[in-house]
Amino acid sequence: MKITEGGVCAAKGFTAYGIHCGIRKNKQKRDLALIYSEVPASAAAVYTTNLVKGAPLAVTKEHLADGKAQAIICNSGNANTCNAGGEECAKMTCCALADALGIKETDVVVASTGVIGQPLPTEPILNGIPELVAGLGADKSCFAEEGIMTTDTVRKSVAVSFEIDGKECKIGGIAKGSGMIHPNMATMLVFITTDCSISSAMLQKALSGDVQNTFNMVSIDGDTSTNDMVVVLANGLAGNAEITGEGKDFTTFMRALNTVTVGLCRLIAADGEGATKLLECKVSGAKTEKIAKTVAKSVICSSLTKAAMFGADANWGRVLCAIGYSGADVDVGKIDVKFVSVKGEIAVCKNGAGLNFSEEKAKEILLEKEITINVNLNDGEFSSVAWGCDLTYDYVKINGDYRT
């Protein structure tokens, strides 16, 4: 397996594009993205667990009921949620796009991201579709990446190539963060494409299993979005024998998918609203996998720990505090904590009590852009990783007046 280029166009038969159609006020910002497969593809998806759901989710769920799709259209700037006529708008979008592409309306996935509670104007989308379709290209993933961004500061894409059944396959994904992100849901918007041949059922199985250890282990701010979804399209153009059950090929596929999703998780966390640092909490030595996950997520969600990391302050007491209130069954007297970055590692807590450590060395480590908080519970064999970011002035600034 190797990392490659091209985002959602890395896999054979996929093209993409993104334009500014007029939903966002800033004309410099693309606000409509399209991903297209030249043949119908197996499709799988996971969705937000928020009871308040964006209108596009209902339409997409209906369209994916048969496990097939051929195009994904997504606007930014408006979530099409908690408003009047949201579903109608999403359906009109699908209908117009299907017409323009000459595909079935039910093979269109529709998604929206942005402000909640305002009517989504259909006109700019319908007017934009011809330009969007005309611009489709196999080298234009970057335009789609831009089109789905909200407060994201960087485009996010990861792609890998791997071999199955003697054929070269590729998986590529793009994502948008960057606020309203919290574990226990499908999380954020992620669109993944692959030319690997795999049945809808096995694709759904791969995705549902993977998100438990990837997107569900990311938290930026504890707020679960109303519009999250992760969608995978597999068009089979790599020519491998279709994966229809477990086995070596499925394992290879899972591993490749995981490389893409972990890559996207790290990109999303690093670009969390206002973030200056990527935080990773690696928990080992847990009695159960659930304990490992609960502890990792609790640490990554702690506002106090996040603020301390912003200040490069080795305030490990807050890490222990977050473990203590996580609800996980741990023996506090066995816990070890280390801070790790490219500058090295420093042990700060052993058996639940503070160690004497060099504040200077700790500062040097914590001033880096990627910090790992290493927690060993010394109580079993299970481990887990969660991703997040620091809490900064800019998070407050961005969210203090998001709508203007």
Q: State which of residues 28, 166, 325, 360 lies at the interface with its own copies (CB under 8 A).
A: 325
Q: Which residues of 152-170 are buried (b: 16+ CB within 10 A; e: fewer)?
A: beebbbbbbbbebbeeebb
Q: State which of residues 98, 267, 301, 340 lies at the interface with its own copies (CB under 8 A).
A: 301
Backbone phi, then psi, for 93, in 5-degree steps?
-60, -50
Distance, in Å, from the CA atom of 225 to the CA atom of 155, rounded to the nearest integer, reads 20
Least Å distance, CB 192 to its own copies, is: 24
Provide the 10 A C-beta neighbour count for residue 265: 30
- Identify any residues that bridge with 15 across adjacent strands, giving them in sequence order: 36
Tell me if 402 contacts its own copies by CB under 8 A: yes
Tell me if 332 contacts its own copies by CB under 8 A: yes
Distance, in Å, from the CA atom of 41 to the CA atom of 43, rounded to the nearest integer, reads 6
* Nearest to 274, CA basis, from 378, 389, 372, 159: 389
Tell me if 292 contacts its own copies by CB under 8 A: no
Query: SS3 for 110?
Result: strand
* Nearest to 240, CA basis, from 207, 205, 195, 206: 195
Part in contact with its own copies (CB under 8 A); list of ranges 100-108, 157-165, 179-187, 260-268: 179-187
Tell me if 282 contacts its own copies by CB under 8 A: no
Sites for its own copies among residues 83-102 (CB under 8 A): 83-84
In the set 187, 193, 261, 294, the catalytic residue is: 187
Q: State which of residues 316, 336, 339, 387 lies at the interface with its own copies (CB under 8 A).
A: 316
Tell me if 221 contacts its own copies by CB under 8 A: yes
4 is catalytic: no
Least Å distance, CB 283 to its own copies, is: 15
CA distances to 18, 320, 387, 403 from 298, rounded to whole Å, are 37, 10, 11, 30
Q: State which of residues 182, 277, 293, 297 lies at the interface with its own copies (CB under 8 A).
A: 182
Least Å distance, CB 83 to its own copies, is: 6
Tell me if 82 contacts its own copies by CB under 8 A: yes
Q: Which two tokens stand for residue 151?
A: 């407060």
Least Å distance, CB 53 to its own copies, is: 8
Residues in contact with its own copies, counted by CB under 8 A, come to a total of: 63
Distance, in Å, from the CA atom of 240 to the CA atom of 250, rounded to the nearest integer, reads 12
Within 140-190, where are the H helices?
141-147
Q: What DSSP string describes 246-283? A: SSHHHHHHHHHHHHHHHHHHHHHHHTSTT-S-EEEEEE
Least Å distance, CB 118 to its own copies, is: 6
Tell me if 178 contacts its own copies by CB under 8 A: no
Closest to its own copies by CB, 92 vs 321, is 321
Sites for its own copies among residues 48-77 (CB under 8 A): 49-53
Sites for its own copies among residues 225-254 (CB under 8 A): 225-226
Rounded to 10 degrees, the C-alpha dihedral 57/62/65/66 comes to: -120
- Amino acid, res. 304: L
Q: State which of residues 255, 290, 369, 397 lies at the interface with its own copies (CB under 8 A).
A: 397
Least Å distance, CB 38 to its own copies, is: 37
Tell me if 290 contacts its own copies by CB under 8 A: no
Sites for its own copies among residues 139-168 (CB under 8 A): none
Sites for its own copies among residues 102-121 (CB under 8 A): 115-119
Quick check: 185 and 205 in contact, CB under 8 A?
no
Closest to its own copies by CB, 174 vs 220, is 220
Tell me if 320 contacts its own copies by CB under 8 A: yes
Distance, in Å, from the CA atom of 298 to the CA atom of 296, rounded to the nearest integer, reads 6
Tell me if 392 contacts its own copies by CB under 8 A: yes
Tell me if 36 contacts its own copies by CB under 8 A: no
Spell out the residues 6+ positions from residue 356 whose beta carbon is closer than 8 angstroms to its own: none
Quick check: 171 and 12 in contact, CB under 8 A?
no
Task: Write out the catalytic residue numbers.
Answer: 187
Chain positions contacting its own copies, by CB under 8 A: 49-53, 79, 81-84, 115-119, 179-180, 182, 185, 221-226, 301-304, 307-308, 310-311, 313, 315-318, 320-325, 330, 332, 349, 352-354, 391-393, 395-404
